[in-house]
Chain A
Amino acid sequence: MRGIPRAVRAIIAVLMVVIALSVVISATSGDRAGLTLPEKILRSIFSPIGNFFWNIGRGASDFFGGLFRLGSIMDENRRLKEEVEALKSNVAQISGLEAENARLSGLLDLKKQFKGKTVAAKVVYRDFGNWLGTVVIDRGSADGIKPGMAVINSLGIVGRVVASTSGTASILLANDPRNAIGAVTVRSRDFAIAEGVGDGTGVLRLKPFGAAPDIKPGDLVVSSGLGGVYPAGHIIGEVVDVDEGAYGMAKVAYVHSAVDFSRVEEVLVLVDSQKGNLK
């Protein structure tokens, strides 16, 4: 290596790094049965820290959100100003607790509706990128969670488990372009595939199987149960737009999910996917 100029050595080093990373990306692009040791170690260290700071972030967000809403109420109710001032600090705290209570109650109601085992979990941190959607929850293989299990909340399908450690699991969100869900429209019973668009807005692309599907804006779309991951009958979303394509040959619809993927906090993992149908 001594005889090789420095610039050439730098280029060789760069190429080696790029090739090595490309190989690792390619090897980890599909579903994996388990995580590697460095991933498990890093997760076990970061999970409690992430959970702690996530709660701080959510608490601060709820606090300032509560104060913001309080401001507009004060403008409308000036005669109650004194009372509002006295309760201001309490309201900011309560608004956060109320929102959490409503979410947990919805999750509890949902849990009672299933035949099979379910595990309630909380999001501890998430993938920050613009294009993909992954969150990590605080339950893992110790609770029976394995890759391939469906994840829902009270508003509909959230995604599926793609990897798990004993105390955490990665959820690939339904709006991620790597995710596809077997779907059916409730009104016309047209079968389709709902896949993530990757636009970050919670819109999924619906590709129907039939030659002349009857899909209209406003149609409710639920999981068909045919894909093997998501049990039948869970809400995917509502059709918001239909693209007829050239000569009406390639109809594609766009479905808006009721789930706000950027704000998912509590979820339910369907451990018995075969029994995950609604009662």
Chain B
Amino acid sequence: MRPSREHRRPDPRIVAVFGLVAGVILQEALLPGLLPGTAPIEPVFCFVTVLAILGHNSVAIALALAGGLTFDLLTGRLVGLNALSYFISALAVVSVQKNLVKETLVAPAAVIFASYLIKEIAYLFVLVSLGMSFPPARVLAQLVFSSAVNACFGACLYWLLHFRMGLGVRVDRDY
């Protein structure tokens, strides 16, 4: 008997581990080499947010901490900063994901845009509290540009994980 789509659905924990390894390689080595200084794409962040939108709350939060800490340990400065900012944005998405319309790409893209803003604001808050300063115009431009780039990348990832791989958590609604 041919297995149903439900049975063929991959385990989100395995997908998360694969996403973490591939994302770290992409984010730290391949993309900076391929597109130096141009595209601030963060595949691991997008992966965390997409898993959170799809309802895999604990996997998303664990991946946020593991992914963030991996980056922090690899670069060796301000250890915990990426983990903290990823964690805060993942929590924000987990808290609203039940109310999202998940059958289009618009709402997930908007959520990824907003969660990237939250992540960057948390990141900047720590840097500023440590005495660093940044030009406000540059901050605004960079936030909008990076959020838009990651929202586009995240929407593609959402399409792959939700519509192609069927990774979303099924919720029976009574309305």
Contact = CB atoms under 8 A, between A and B. Distances in A.
Interface of A: 14, 17-18, 20-22, 24-25, 27-29, 32, 35, 38-39, 42-43, 46, 49-58, 60-61, 124-132, 134, 136, 162-163, 170, 172, 177-178, 197-200, 260-263
Contact of B30 (A21, A57, A199): A57
B28 A46 contact: yes
Given A17-B87, A131-B124, A177-B132, A126 B73 contact: no
Contacts of A127: 71, 75, 77
Interface stretch (B47-55, B96-104, B133-141): B133-141
Nearest to B82: A129
Shortest beta-carbon contacts, A-B, top 9: A57-B33, A262-B37, A57-B34, A24-B80, A53-B29, A21-B80, A50-B29, A28-B79, A177-B132
Nearest to A164: B76
Contacts of A177: 127, 132-134
Nearest to A46: B74
Contacts of A136: 74-75
A56 B81 contact: no
Main secondary structure of the interface of B (DSSP, over half): helix
Nearest to A53: B29
B153 interface: no
Contacts of B88: 18
Contacts of A28: 76-80
Contact of A39 (B34, B38, B76, B123): B76
Given A54-B32, A125-B28, A132-B77, 9 more contacts: A56-B30, A57-B29, A127-B75, A128-B40, A170-B77, A197-B134, A198-B133, A198-B134, A262-B32
A125 B26 CA distance: 10
Contacts of B133: 177, 198
B76 A199 contact: no
Nearest to A163: B76
Interface in B128-158: 130, 132-135, 138, 142, 146
A38 B142 CA distance: 32
Contact of A29 (B42, B130, B134): B130
Contacts of A42: 70, 73-74
21 contacts: A24-B79, A25-B78, A29-B130, A42-B74, A50-B25, A50-B28, A54-B29, A55-B33, A57-B30, A125-B32, A128-B32, A131-B124, A131-B127, A132-B127, A134-B76, A163-B77, A170-B76, A170-B77, A177-B134, A178-B132, A199-B138
B34 A22 contact: no
Interface string B61-89: 00001000011011111111111100110
A38 B73 contact: yes
Contact of B123 (A24, A46, A129): A129
Contact of B25 (A32, A49, A55, A126): A49
A125 B27 CA distance: 9
Interface string B11-49: 000000000000011011111111111101010000000
Contacts of B87: 17-18, 21
B139 to A, nearest CB: 9
A61 B35 contact: yes
Given A25-B84, A125-B74, A263 B36 contact: yes
Contact of B135 (A25, A56, A125, A197): A197
Nearest to B132: A177
A46 B27 CA distance: 12
Contacts of A20: 80
B91 interface: yes
A128 B32 CA distance: 7
Given A21-B84, A163-B77, A126 B40 contact: no
Contacts of B70: 42
- Indicate the member of B37, B40, B42, B75 with the most A CB atoms within 10 Å: B75
Contacts of A128: 27-28, 31-32, 40, 42, 71
